[in-house]
Structure 1
Amino acid sequence: MPSQHPEGIGYGYVIERYVTRKDSGRPRYLDLKSGRVLRPGWPHAERFTRHLIDDAATITDAELEALLGYEWRSRLTAAWLIGAARRVTFRERLGDLLLASDFCFSGSAYCFALARFGTHADAEVLTAYLDHYLPRTDLRYDQPAALGALLHLDDRLGAHRAVRFTQPDGLRDRWVDALAHLRDDAGYTPAEQRRRTDLQCGFADGWTRP
């Protein structure tokens, strides 16, 4: 489905309200993308988090669909709001978007939302993505984020879906070996990717809405 500006379906206001609002002095989507919200001591954390919690609780499904139907900034923001509020009715929609991988950057937010939902169904979505994209050694998409989310869910669910991807000389190793610049990058190890997902979900789990 081609992307469409929310304005075309009567939701033009959602970009400014949810995506580019500046609780930290920078657009929200940039703070979410950069991960600075996870850094201890970030001076804007309280204000940013409070507004994100409120928006996650009050945004309508129609507004979320308007964001998911547009470009990467709006999709990334929508996925964070969906994950924060555990809007599990969007599982299939996020899975379809993740597998399609039409835009850069937003896929890691889909992985966060699926990890936050926390069920076997979400693990299956991530497994399907990795089955499709880890063999594609010519592509650097959201394979690391998906693997981190799956490892997070394996620990949560007592499952072992990620083992066949992470075993020595498995799909993950072959994917990294084909992308030479990633071989010695500690940020792309399974442990580091899982740690990042753990941080994201732990941060969200600690939210409380007044």
Structure 2
Amino acid sequence: MHHAHEDAELLALVRRYVTPERRYLKLGGGVLRMPGPERDRFVRALGEDARLVTPDEIATLLKGGWRERRTATWLIAVGRRTEFRERIGELLLASEVCCVGSAYCVALAGFGTPRDAGLLGAYLDRYLRRPDLAYDQVVVMGALISTDLNLGDDQAARFLGPGGMWEQWLHDAPHMQPTVDPATCLSPIRRLCAFVDECAETE
């Protein structure tokens, strides 16, 4: 992982894409709570930057910390940069830094192909076996269910059956409620994907 204060190229990109108006803090649930005029400005600016940012700039941002990776992943999602699919899958599975998992999920759910569903499933295969880790299991499940709905597929089913990995994880994870209806995982990711679509459609 690179640190902006030690990398002049990364620092310049942070100042260009990450920190203006504290963008990195707003990406995620915060975008859904913005008042109208602020939201409109944010949508236009994010859409424009997603068109302007280069693949090399994205790759550099993805080497940074959580702020850089979150911003880069949203730019990937809005710009439909599917060439970064595998890299996002790797970063999600590695879970090296906090506060980025939902961004990875928004991008993969937005791409919405069987390969994206496979990457989300790989994460659940690994981390539903770790009830000691409160990572991104819930948001990843929401993204997988969303992708299934769009594809007419049911890759989430292997996790959700009675006595399956989801039920066992909920039972064994001390930080979770006794039951979490998988359907409640779906709404946030669908709303964020709709926001991505709105940004992508700006001119």
Compute the TM-score of the two structures, normalised by the length of structure 2.
0.92
- Residue 108 of structure 1 deviates from its aligned partner by 1.4
What is the aligned partner in structure 1 of residue 11 from structure 2? 12
Instruction: Provide the rounded CA distance (Å) in 1 between the counterparts of 2:123 and 2:112.
Output: 16
Identity across the alignment (%): 45
The amino acid that maps onto 1:203 is F
SS in 2 for 1:73: helix
Q: Identify which of 68, 72, 90 aligns with 2:62.
A: 68
- Residue 36 of structure 1 deviates from its aligned partner by 2.0
What is the aligned partner in structure 2 of residue 203 from structure 1? 195
Q: List aligned pairs for 1:166-185, cutoff 5 A.
A: 166-183=160-177
Unaligned runs of 5+ in 2: none
Matched, 1:31 2:23: no
Deviations 1:151-204 (CA, angstroms, capped at 9, x unpaired): 00000001110011122332112112222342158xx54212111111111122
Question: Number of aligned pairs?
Answer: 201
What is the aligned partner in structure 1 of residue 48 from structure 2? 54
Contact 2:138 2:185 in 1 (8 A): yes
More helix, by proportion: 2
What is the aligned partner in structure 2 of residue 130 from structure 1? 124
What is the aligned partner in structure 1 of residue 156 from structure 2? 162
Instruction: Name the Cα RMSD after superposition.
Output: 1.8
Contact 1:32 1:77 in 2 (8 A): yes
Change (3 A) 1:70 1:183: same
Instruction: Provide the rounded CA distance (Å) in 2 between the counterparts of 1:174 and 1:184.
Output: 10
SS in 1 for 2:45: helix
The amino acid that maps onto 1:32 is L
SS in 1 for 2:133: coil
Instruction: Provide the rounded CA distance (Å) in 2 between the counterparts of 1:62 and 1:137.
Output: 37
Instruction: Provide the rounded CA distance (Å) in 1 between the counterparts of 2:14 and 2:142.
Output: 29
What is the aligned partner in structure 2 of residue 143 from structure 1? 137
Deviations 1:102-131 (CA, angstroms, capped at 9, x unpaired): 001112111110011111111111111111
Q: List aligned pairs for 1:188-199, cutoff 5 A.
A: 189-199=181-191
Instruction: Provide the rounded CA distance (Å) in 2 between the counterparts of 1:184 and 1:203.
Output: 31
Structure 1 segments (4+ residues) deviating >6 Å: none
Deviations 1:4-42 (CA, angstroms, capped at 9, x unpaired): 1356363421111111110xxxx1111114x12123745
Change (3 A) 1:9 1:40: closer
Instruction: Provide the rounded CA distance (Å) in 2 between the counterparts of 1:84 and 1:192.
Output: 24
The amino acid that maps onto 1:4 is H
The amino acid that maps onto 1:18 is Y
Compute the TM-score of the two structures, normalised by the length of structure 1.
0.89
Deviations 1:129-161 (CA, angstroms, capped at 9, x unpaired): 111111111111111111111000000001110
Contact 1:36 1:42 in 2 (8 A): no
Instruction: Provide the rounded CA distance (Å) in 2 between the counterparts of 1:170 and 1:134.
Output: 10
